[in-house]
Structure 1
Amino acid sequence: MTGASSGRFITFEGIDGSGKSTQARLLAQALRDAGQDVVLTREPGGSPGAEEIRRLVLEGDPDRWSAETEILLFTAARRDHMERLILPALTAGKVVICDRFADSTRMYQGLSRGDLRALVDTLHDLMIGREPDLTLLIDMDPALGLERARQRQGAEERFEDFGPELQSRMRAGFLALAREHAARFRVIDGNRAIDAVAADVLACAAPAPA
């Protein structure tokens, strides 16, 4: 999915409980305070249709869907999100900050539930065709991340239910992905106080001086 845009697309990635959602909110506020027009969104979700799909994929038994079905559902949600929110905002010159994007699908569906990374990439190229300008990977100890994730309240627990082995595999996978796409990834140590992490995030994401 291509098209001219004058905005900036920033995504946050990391294992469950890494603090990426908190850091996405803090970055959005910091950039707004600096006078930038910011749209904060999330995946799966971010548009009405994508939010409906979010409920389908994040609630219920961990084995509710096959990996292939999940990939199709996430791609459908992302397409709607791109069409209805992300691309219009970028075209309008806004900064779009998204809590998870295609890299999460590459890891959770493409790696954790079978060797389906090539399928994820093929569908992404065909139906989305857009990578972030900057991806901030909040790196977190897997055991600590899982503990944090399980302390959250709510129904969206499917991927936390996969357990500590998945967390460790996902961390390794995200770090490998960061090396593969080093031009757009920045890895930030999330095992620290929130303010310290936020300072590094802002340093990476702040626009260069004119």
Structure 2
Amino acid sequence: MLTVAIASEFNAFDGELYRYLLERILGVEVQAWKSEFEFNGCKHVRKQTGLFLKKAADAGVQHALVAIDNDGGSARGLPHKPDHQVEREVEDPDGCRVCWLLETIPSTWRAAPYRSCVVVPIQTLETWLLIIQGHTFTEPSPEQRYNRAVLKKDCFGKLPLSSQERQRIALELLKQPEALPKLSLRPSFQHFMNQVLAW
């Protein structure tokens, strides 16, 4: 079993989906490291990442996943590219959200024995779920559909659902045999998977 420190905007939902995706990608059982940290939104994840990873290392954890949604659009928070200059992207309020998180990862977590990855679905985690569902996006690519409320409604319907029910629906989608092949076609998921496979 692999223990992973997971920092996400809402660990009861997002964190559990990422934990399950790690299991699918790595082919091993993954448990989330239990800590006193409760994250609430992207700014809180970014602010607490350094301390969270220090505490995880102190507890003997050597694997970490840090994730937020992109919440960008067609003109800001554009997809991450390998040639991005992190400092420049961080200075730009509309810059790359992957770089925005990368800047918070302590140097100790960037080399062995520690393994970390930064995940930023475009535009939100529900985009990945809609791709698995075979949703017909009106835009040329799913990443250009950036209205969070619409994406969530398209994914889960109009009725408000509990986080447990949303989690159940999402995990059923992620368990489908074609889930990873479909997601692997999207750049934001490729970036996530490539980092994890390098572990």
Q: TM-score, normalised to structure 1's length?
A: 0.35
| Higher relative contact order, chain-length normalized (CA < 8 Å, sep 6+) | 1
Give the TM-score taking structure 2 as reference length: 0.37
